[in-house]
Chain A
Amino acid sequence: MNLRFGYGTNGFANHRLGDALSVLADLGYDGVALTLDHHHLDPYAPGLARRVSGLATRLMELGLSVVIETGARYLLDPRRKHAPTLLHDEREVRLDFLLRAVSIAADLGAEAVSCWSGVRPPAVDPQLAWDRLVDGCARLTEAASKAGVPVGFEPEPGMFVQDLAGWRTLHRALGMPRAFGLTLDLGHCRCLEPEPVADCVVAAAPWLVNVQIEDMRRGVHEHLEFGEGEIEFPPVLRALADTGYRGLVGVELPRHSHAAPDVARRSLSFLRAAAGQSGGAADRAPAQGQRAPGQRRPAGAVPAPDVLRAALAAVDDGGWLDEALRRVAADPSVISRLFPAAARRCGRGEILPGWTADEAARAVLLATLPAERAVAHARELYRHGDAAEKRAVLRALPLLPIGPSAVELLHDAIRTNDTRLVAAALGPYAAHLDAAAWRQAVVKCVFMGIPLTCVDDLDHRADSELAAMLAGVADERHAAGRELPDDAAALLAHLKAEKGI
């Protein structure tokens, strides 16, 4: 499919702009989402025209497209994040900034200027805030229309306009001008939209001028690397491509600047793999979005075997994996000697977020087994595996046609004190653990310092009994003058609020 991927410069906050562009172009990105900021093309610093012209040349040399983002945190006010917005008393400061952004976008040949409403200040009542927003957007859209650059207004969780319904209301209030479009963040859709992500894409298609992409979990507005959240991307990307959208699909990971080049590399290889195979996966994929209680989540954390296989193509193993897969297909028993050799042959580098080459290769080997042999071999390889092999088996279980029949491997892993094994046991296959065992394992994670992000389906599955257990841990910690880890404390607070404990 023909999607064009970009990357947000707010995810390169520790890079000079020129360096960030070079890195992204070298990695193979098609464009950048440029957040105007004090260190990235400051629109208030001297020499703006010269800098914009230099940047336009540089973008052309690198073959990068660009959209302009206006979400800098402290560009306008060094003390208050994002302030002032179009809702504040000092809203003219924001409007002036947005108009500058439109001019810069026009000079750079940008595909869109993106903006949001901001959070409503407590002192501004909702009706006044709405009137100010409509007025500001109308003036912005008029300028954008003259400059020939569309506005991409972005619903942002927690802000005054936070979802597609809010955008539609605003769009109507403005009189549906052509130059007022939509910036759709696919992670936000997973976070709070009532419809599955792919359905949001289809519904939003007529107005899309800019797309942002990252992984996310239901109800948690945290931009996550691909594979760490709940979105199954192949069907989403297929839906996006099928709408005929030709703008940039920009990775939005503003909190990953500390590792920007690696994150950008992994993100692009993930997106390419997800885009490359999405036809088949889309046919198989169950619908996304909110599930009925007890229904399995389509696991974004587990790429399909063909996605893993595609990502492994980048590994130089001298053809070992191809040969190994051929041999396993011909004689499943040979897997017992090929499985332990996978790390030596394919290496241990990360090829997709959360997936190293050895784990991916081992998962693909297991997925090659005939269905009727899969459980027996998985058990055998786990039983005789070193810690890395055991972990690879655990992570591959949800990919195998074995139903719940290997759940005893999870029990074994959870009995260990090896954080790598306990974490791997709480992936999507843990749906087969009964509630008591699952809660015990989650609380064990808290004790062992394992981040709860490793627990699949946590928000959906956490119940009042788990809350009571966590509260017990919290009491003991407090008695000892210690605190729960932040993630456990946040989960407990969330459960208390939700379950009314």
Chain B
Amino acid sequence: MAEEFILIPGRTSKQGTTLNEGKYTDDYLEEISTLQICEEDMQRLGLKEGDHVRMWNAIGEVTVPCKASKGDELPPGILFISYGMWSSVLMGADTQGSGMPDSKGLDVFLEPA
């Protein structure tokens, strides 16, 4: 049963360091493709680290591995992923006349893959 979440793509320290190592390195690809979910939501959905989840919205769909966010960094209902090719798939083209597509705070559905 899919649940609705809000996805926040953003920068991380590891994304920044591995980006410099190269966009085709395993570490970079792992960092930008791993979805962070708060511990409470992980437990409720029966997910453990490394499990794959399907995440989609009206724009696109990705299947990515997940892990629990550290401490209380994420409140329930909020997901985080590092900016990159996977987050872009869920980003629409409409900029509402601003030049900037909605790139944070995206409504998405999520279910274990």
A and B, one complex? no
Q: Which residues of chain A have a CB within 8 Å of any CB of chain B?
A: none
